[in-house]
Structure 1
């Protein structure tokens, strides 16, 4: 089987190509007889890749009847607490719910596990870097490293003549949107879209991701204008993938001893809900770092509808605005995940024809 490497668009990080060569994409053969393609991971320029249900408490059933050998006990003369006081006392004794610790967010009109994102989006936002990372400064002519900016000018500048009103729902966390689980990776854009449709949702668009991440102010990172690893899972030491063999899709990888061992060696994901400090203005968690996220590029046609945003745990840009358009719809990587979106004020209608296949 011949492997072909797809040429990166301008601005793609060469180091990212190595990632996808070893850990990611195999392009499925199409009906036109195309070969399988392996691609390389673009972590640069266009860079980018839950709610918890609680069991109801019982205790409302009838009390057991006394046996014939039991003696009735007279009631105490002390007054019984008012019903409201009893309810309050019982509630205060319950352990806190996981969602009680979630960042504040507007959830009105959105399904469980999603937050509402509303405001006026600037499509043309200028973010000027004041100081780059020394690694980039020393090698920017060769473009062999990711363009990491340490500090941006404040504020960002909107150059669009008009802003676009946006109103939608977005998963609070990365898929599967369940606290305590690891974000799903080794997943293609096509599979990600299918998994969202199975829940009655859809992939987020590029503009939706931008706005939920940066807000109306257009902040480069969810935490502001100065780069730091204090809040998000990012800037971890780069681990070179094994380029001799291709990794499998997520579920198959964990059933394969060699693939699982390689994934365990590379993996620096944080569990969902582990780092609630990495939160955007809208209350969405882990939009920078942790795992890259697939988005849809409206107006594009197959196989170019796919984009990657947000960055991952490695030493890459990890910003809101850049989008990697190099990787195609069947591509997948060890750091490539996603989250889902939906329209606000509309019930979820799962697509019965969707199939979550790699």
Structure 2
């Protein structure tokens, strides 16, 4: 779908809303009919016609319960990822071939080393949690379908500011890549590989202010979020953090218990090596309360995330550029402690900073990413 088509899809919101209202009415228990002769109508007169009943939309299928089989080898794990991207995201052979060429070009890009990773939650447990939270009910599924029509891709949501006068022009993944609920995040991708993988699926690596806006529930103009008049990154970071509002995706008060912060490092994990450090991540979206107003999950806890930090306007991803690397999304945030602050608009220090497109940009066992898309 081209940009004009995706914008036109906004019109479908009203139609889908009407359809949902009709569906709800059809699902509601009918009121007791008045006695024969009351107001001149019988129960048969008041019954809906066959044509009216057919107007109700067919219920949308809820997600299938995922299997918990854990691949024993890296090759098997990768093949499972590609299969799930085909099943859940509708990606075809050409796109998956591009994804595969990037992933297979590195020895460690994966959901974590299968030999040492110990995920604290099974995929089926995640599915059950979301089922109990009502995320598989028809209103939520209809909302998913509406956003898919607008964004041109599944499991993405549009971003906007406080004013609704301007239609959204950017969408963001709801979950960490591969952007599938109840699948484990892809980790060990460098910033360069993250940007390449986003492009392979028709998206791009998110700009830092887009990620922050998705978390805080308000996307602000780039001109307000980057202090481009200050040439040193340390200055930009300091003055941005000094005046920022503190807010978390789930509310105004920090509460790590709402998010995927209960995992632990592998016992022999020191500096982040493949042989000794499991990713130990939770399935994406397993904490229904760890979600922003826009419907974006896991921006606190679980994997940390790559993003693009534009040091000048032409480096904005939205303008086709790439700047320096920034990593957010709770670096080493666990239930018993945290290595740094993790509120939505906190600008991270220049840890392992390089250009995003640098061939040796940083990768780690707990570092993933998510993608954005322009409308």
TM-score by length of 2: 0.47
Report 1 or 2 for greater relative contact order, CA contacts < 8 Å, sequence distance ≥ 6. 1
Which structure's CA Rg is the greater one?
A: 1
TM-score (norm 1): 0.49
More helix as a share of residues = 2
